[in-house]
Amino acid sequence: MLSTEQLANLDRDGYLILSDLIPEPMLEALRERVEELFEAEGENAGAEFKKESGARRLANCVDKGKVFEQAILIPEILAAKAHILGPAFKLSSLNVRSTNPMSEADQPLHVDMNAIADERGYWVANTIFMLDDFTPENGATRVVPGSHKWGQRPQEQMTDPFAAHPQQILVTGKAGTIVICNAHTWHGGTANRTNRQRRAMHAFFCRADKPQQQYQKKLLRAETQAGLSAELRKLLALDDVSNDRISAQVEVTSGFLK
């Protein structure tokens, strides 16, 4: 599903662009469902995770439509996650971030979950579904290629993580593109200087021994869980007793990780 060259590029750069990977019917269904949810949830949109000034948010998307279940099972995504994280991994969260028109602030460069690779290696990996074109003007993600190998967070090296890094590039592409990201790679959204929303979905994965960003078993309604395939139940760690222990410990000590 992914070539030797693609995997080598992912290892070298910390990200991989896969153009036109979302089938057109799925892309249209995702766009339609996302806008239905923004309309239905209104001011509460994204409340299961967090709200953000300058962007619309949705969270807990596996619970909100079959099209989201289908999207996270795209084979190339799962192959890439296994390559980064090893064979034992799980979905950590599935969220949508839509950058508002004329938003003036970049996100700071960051690593997801503030994570540093440990003795077992990398443990976080993200996936960007481009629901709209990503352009230099509308809030495309900036990344610092190779930074996943540095073993540092941006704030430990940069005086101002909001500033441009001399090695950063913008990840642009057409709607339907998927970007695989080793989430130890320094990255962040940029300002949308256009008069239209820029929508993206983020499928975030973690290694099996780490806590989920959003504890899926607690968030998903019983009727949703009852309708999931065996493959999805495994991907969400719904029947994994060790995942329950990890998540319970995190909830007691610090709340869900944001």
Domains present along the chain, CATH in parentheses? 4-254 (2.60.120.620)
Task: Inform me whether the pLDDT recorded for 55 exceeds 50.
Answer: yes
pLDDT of residue 258: 39
Q: What is the DSSP letter of 161?
A: T
How much of the chain exceeds pLDDT 90, in percent? 91
Q: What is the pLDDT of residue 256?
A: 45
Q: Are the C-beta atoms of residues 213 and 93 closer than 8 Å to each other?
A: yes
Contact criterion met (CB below 8 Å) for 30 and 67: yes
What is the pLDDT averaged over residues 129-149? 97
What's the confidence (pLDDT) of residue 103? 86
Q: Which residue has the higher pLDDT, 196 or 104?
A: 196
> According to the model, what pLDDT value does residue 257 have?
44
Give the range among 101-105, 115-119, 134-138, 250-254 with minimum mean pLDDT: 250-254
Whether the per-residue pLDDT at 253 is higher than 70: the answer is no
Does residue 158 surpass a pLDDT of 80? yes
CA gap 142, 168 in Å, rounded: 6
With a cut of 80, say whether residue 123 has pLDDT above it.
yes
Q: What is the pLDDT of residue 105?
A: 80
The structure tokens listed for 217 are 């078993």
Rama region for 157: left / alpha / beta (φ>0; ψ in -120 to 50; rest): alpha
What's the Cα-to-Cα distance from 218 to each of 92, 170, 243, rounded to whole Å?
A: 12, 36, 12
- How much is the pLDDT for 251? 61
The Cα angle at residue 10 between residues 22 and 84, in degrees rounded to 5: 90
Average pLDDT over residues 22-38: 98
Residue closest to 179 by CA, chosen among 207, 141, 123: 141
Task: Note the pTM of the prediction, 2 decimals.
Answer: 0.95
